Amino acid sequence: QPVLTQPPSASASLGASVTLTCTLSSGYSNYKVDWYQQRPGKGPRFVMRVGTGGIVGSKGDGIPDRFSVLGSGLNRYLTIKNIQEEDESDYHCGADHGSGSNFVGVFGGGTKLTVL
Amino acid sequence: QVQLVESGGGLVKPGGSLRLSCAASGFTFSDYYMSWIRQAPGKGLEWVSYISSSSSYTNYADSVKGRFTISRDNAKNSLYLQMNSLRAEDTAVYYCARIYSSRTRTFDYWGQGTLVTVSS
């Protein structure tokens, strides 16, 4: 099954942009990845799914247009433009592995985004 | 609106058992696969288990296989996780999550979580 790697931390100034990266392990370049936002003390919230062609399907409920995704090779990116204080969160990427009704879920270690 | 509310967490001794519940509302529960995902204190997310809409299929992470059992009651719109032979490393916040579809296995809605602490 794939391993998803995320840098543990990132920071950006209010109003700036930041790109978070999730890297799939070798051999899994065709995998789609889901991004989740987790505000302090809350449960995760689905942001959007990304493949090598970009967004797959629709964004999660209430996700603003400031959030976008790209995919290239083994990397899946989440970009946040015009960062707001409420964007300070942990961001997790996840994927599923397996066929039919026999699958497992995998997650990266998460990136803590600090808004300066 | 979709709501998932977990309950049943608490303090339990190593080797003990606990049963978590997740009450679902705002959608047709019987149409969706469901999952449990946990997060140890200060750590990332770890997928635990899933169950298909009619309970025909389940799967578990290796770390819990043989100790945890997922189940559901579609008449009660409820998801369960029976946890036996608990270990200190099972200490975590446990989230239930809805799976978007059997083909697109996105966890599209999550609950607020329930804390399980395994300690003597």
**Sole residue written with tokens 């009704």:** A101
Residues of chain A with Cβ-Cβ distance to B38 below 8 Å are none
Q: Percentage of chain A with pLDDT > 90?
A: 94
State residue B103's pLDDT score: 87
Min CA distance, B78 vs chain A (Å)? Answer: 18
Q: Enter the DSSP assignment of A90.
A: E
Instruction: Measure the CA angle with vertex B108, ends A40 and A108; round to 5°.
Output: 60
pLDDT tens column, A66-115: 999 999 999 999 999 999 999 999 999 999 998 877 889 999 999 999 99
Distance CA A114, CA A87 (A): 8
Q: Do A101 and B52 touch (CB under 8 A)?
A: yes
Q: Do A107 and B47 touch (CB under 8 A)?
A: yes
Task: Say whether residue A96 is in contact with chain B using an 8 A CB cutoff.
Answer: yes
Q: Print pLDDT tens along chain B (120 aa).
A: 999 999 999 999 999 999 999 999 999 999 999 999 999 999 999 999 999 999 999 999 999 999 999 999 999 999 999 999 999 999 999 999 999 988 889 999 999 999 999 999
Dihedral angle at the C-alpha atoms of B66, B45, A63, B5, nearest 10 degrees?
50
Task: Say whether residue A2 is in contact with chain B using an 8 A CB cutoff.
Answer: no
Q: Two tokens at B60?
A: 């578990």
State residue A100's pLDDT score: 73
Best residue of A103, A106, A112 to probe chain B, by most B CBs closer than 10 Å: A103
Distance CA A71, CA A35 (A): 12
Q: Do A105 and B108 touch (CB under 8 A)?
A: no
Read off the amino acid at residue B25.
S
Nearby residues of B42 by Cβ (< 8 Å), 6 or more positions away: none
State residue A20's pLDDT score: 98
Burial class of A4 by CB neighbour count within 10 A (0 to 12, 13 to 18, 19+): buried
Residue A94, SS3 per DSSP: strand
Q: Enter the DSSP assignment of A25.
A: P
State residue A67's pLDDT score: 98
Interface size A-B, in CB pairs within 8 Å, comes to 63
Tell how strand B10-12 and strand B114-118 pair up: parallel
